[in-house]
Structure 1
Amino acid sequence: MAMIFVGGSRDIVDLPNPVVERIASIVAAEHGVLVGDAPGADTEVQALLGGHGYEHVGVFCASDQPRNNLGDWAVYTVPPPQGAHGFAIQAQKDREMVRRADYGLMIWNGTSPGTILNVLRLAMAEKPCVTYDVGNGLVTTTRDVADWQTMLSCADPEIWDVLAKRMTPDERLAMTPG
């Protein structure tokens, strides 16, 4: 059973039809799904999986109780590093999902730094990721950091500044040419 990290932007409240179809394929193939507990795309994915009555789901959270667990699935708590605040509270949980995943499926609004950093983390681990950029109507598959950089070549240049502030030293190092 392949493990698929499914995530996305918090402001996405309707999953596009291709994502719904892709998740139906994941369910039909009985792959495991790793999903976060955030409102938005995570919760929409949970609702869809719950509607299928799907059981092979793990919900990852950064606190003792998930913010959302619509299917009463297994919960995996990944505490943030001591002193973490803001986005860094959720980043450790996301890194753990990347570590456990074989593949990624991300639903991106075209601007969310958290989602696109998860695509980078998957690319750094050379784990394929299909990204639905609902903001720009694009579907991209990344397999490595070069693919990720190509995908972001169409993004708003301001995203690079936001990403730089959120990246770990290892993530920044992955961005520098060989």
Structure 2
Amino acid sequence: MLKMFISGSIANNTIPDEVIKSVDVSMDKNYVILVGDAKGVDKNIQDLLKINNYSNVNIYHIGNKPRNLADKNWKQFKVIIDESNPKLFKDGKFTRSAQMIKDKRMVSEADFGLVIWQDVSTNRFGNVQVSKGSLNNIYNLLKMGKPVGLYFVPKPDEGIIKLTDLTYFENGVISNMVNVKTKQYYYEMKSEYEKVETQKKHDKKSQGEQLKFF
């Protein structure tokens, strides 16, 4: 049974009609729908599924219980976080990095994704901030070869953009549609991911060379 990971920006408080239609199709096909427990898109998608009495839903969270849960009968999956690590748990709260670990778990278990993304928003101090979580989800899904349906909120006329690889995403969306701050963050994020991958390959090679001595 196919699994679809639905995610989106916390700043978005409504679900576009195009996305509702896509979710309706997914319910008709009886996909397993993976959703987080945040406010914004996560909560609104949960409410939409609940209104339709849809039961094939998996909710992922990192606290003792989901922050938002529209139906207690849905399957719940707690992603274990190292609370002794200040990068993941600080001042009695889980950090953004901890939430990203939860999202990566959903990425790994999904077959494809649907992302409702507004790349930037303005905080209460009037500063522009990038919606990093959704961008990371898009990157990680495509990096694993999993297709993404992207509803880019600032460009509603585009409908749901079908993405199958990073090159198309970078050329079609990152280069032409997003805020300059989003573009800067994306390539910094990508560079960090590539450094980690390079280090992993180096470590694996070193371990292989060490084994030759035995």
Compute the TM-score of the two structures, normalised by the length of structure 2: 0.75
Which residue does the alignment assign to 1:145?
A: 166
Q: Secondary structure at the match of 1:158?
A: helix
Deviation of the 1:160 alpha carbon = 3.3
Identity of aligned residues (%): 26
Deviates more, 1:121-130 or 1:148-157: 148-157
Which residue does the alignment assign to 1:114?
A: 133
Question: 1:152 is matched by which residue type in structure 2?
Answer: I
Q: Output the aligned Cα RMSD.
A: 2.0
Change (3 A) 1:61 1:171: farther
Deviations 1:25-74 (A, max 9, x none): 00010000000000000000000001111111010111111100102211
Deviations 1:90-135 (A, max 9, x none): 0000000000000100001132121111000000001000010112
Contact 2:147/2:162 (CA < 8 Å) preserved in 1?
yes
2:105 to 96, 106, 113: 96
Aligned mates of 1:144, 1:64 — CA distance in 2: 36
Compute the TM-score of the two structures, normalised by the length of structure 1: 0.89
Deviations 1:115-167 (A, max 9, x none): 11100000000100001011222332221221221221121121134346666
Work out the number of aligned pairs and report it: 174
In our comparison, the structure showing a higher alpha carbon Rg is 2
Deviation of the 1:173 alpha carbon = 6.8
Question: 1:21 is matched by which residue type in structure 2?
Answer: K
Structure 1 residues not aligned, in runs of 5+: none
Check if 1:74 corresponds to 2:75: yes
